[in-house]
Amino acid sequence: MALIVQKFGGTSVGTVERIEQVAEKVKKFREGGDDIVVVVSAMSGETNRLIDLAKQISEQPVPRELDVMVSTGEQVTIALLAMALIKRGVPAVSYTGNQVRILTDSAHNKARILQIDDQKIRADLKAGRVVVVAGFQGVDEHGNITTLGRGGSDTTGVALAAALKADECQIYTDVDGVYTTDPRVVPQAQRLDKITFEEMLEMASLGSKVLQIRSVEFAGKYNVPLRVLHSFQEGPGTLITLDEEESMEQPIISGIAFNRDEAKLTIRGVPDIPGVAFKILGPISAANIEVDMIVQNVAHDNTTDFTFTVHRNDYQNAQRVLEQTASELGAREVIGDTKIAKVSIVGVGMRSHAGVASRMFEALAKETINIQMISTSEIKVSVVIEEKYLELAVRALHTAFELDAPSRQGE
């Protein structure tokens, strides 16, 4: 008999009919003899509706009161799901984050989980009940309701699985697993049976939207096997695990991630003196702007060109800061480009295979795609290219690294 934590997102519980379908799915698992803890989000659109209500009162609602308000969305879902299970003859009980005692810090709207009291849940499981827990929320040491921010329900699910030492944490979503790349861009993309936490973290940070980074980090830290499954289609999904043993047989590359939300800034003709990188990036960091890739070129005249990328939403702000820095340093000019994209290949197999980067560059060269910037780590290579070539690049790399589905390869 296994202990499984199942998490269902907003679209999976978006209507009463869908909640009934989730109840049917949970009932089947329960009949198979497994102990089940279910974590649910608010019904899709509900959190946004509550935030809009708050903003009708105040443009910037007090964070504590906003948490009190938005946490009610999940409270509705847990009660409805518990009712649907009980109607089907499955003993069930619902709990808010406060009732389970998911203890967090006091950072309202983006709290971090510190500790979970699992005694109440264990007692219910022992009594044969399915336990339904509100995702996305907790309580601080002063008894204030807190919420965990974006992807909070995924994090709740993983944290509960870690606390209960569950056999598996299943994340139900609107896709049937993690794919080698976005099937909308490459129809030949394949669902991966298995991927490591490390690869999934890279994929998530590089633009793959299947799982929130925080939940993957948490799962990796506590070694909680994660499985991504489709809410309403049968299938094995994708298992995310620490296990790298099979990587010898797997392709060198597990997936290709891409991100359109990039912009590039270059400051030209900066005096090449010690500490110049800090003088450029210090003010950017102080403006709370995250920098991604960095390239520095030194010219013969003892000046340097310094290029970096930021999120496209931060571009104008970063440009303003950089213009100010340029005038202070006596730089020649600041130029920018918002029509770029980042493409990355990811795979633990890179550790034991040489020549992966050159194979990537060769595939792009064959399509006459110019590489503007390069960044590497142990298990990834990222390049910045013109945005108009993004889909062509992803398809070319997918084929070059033999990731196309075998039956459709070469179509």
3-state class (DSSP) for residue 356? helix
* 101-to-120, 163, 193, 263, 332 alpha-carbon distances in Å: 9, 12, 35, 43, 58
Report the distance separating Cα 85 and Cα 7, nearest Å.
15
Report the distance separating Cα 199 and Cα 186, nearest Å.
20
Helix axis angle for 46-57 and 72-87, nearest 10°, is 150
Q: Given the structure tokens 């730089």, which residue do they identify?
A: 331
Give kind and range of the element (H or E) at residue 270: strand 255-271
Annotated binding-site residue numbers for ATP? 7-10, 173-174, 179, 184, 209-210
Q: Do 356 and 253 contact (CB within 8 A), yes or no?
A: yes
Give kind and range of the element (H or E) at residue 69: helix 63-70
- Residue 101: which region, alpha, beta or left (left: phi > 0; alpha: psi -120 to 50)? left
Report the distance separating Cα 191 and Cα 183, nearest Å.
9
Pairing of strands 303-311, 333-346: unpaired
Report the distance separating Cα 84 and Cα 306, nearest Å.
59
3-state class (DSSP) for residue 12? coil
3-state class (DSSP) for residue 77? helix
Q: For residue 150, how many other CB atoms are within 10 A of its CB? A: 13
Annotated binding-site residue numbers for substrate? 47, 74
Q: Which of 269, 260, 358, 361 is nearest to 307 (CA)?
A: 269
Helix axis angle for 16-31 and 72-87, nearest 10°, is 60
Annotated binding-site residue numbers? 7-10, 47, 74, 173-174, 179, 184, 209-210
Q: Is 142 exposed, middle or buried (0-12, 13-18, 19+ CB in 10 A)?
A: exposed
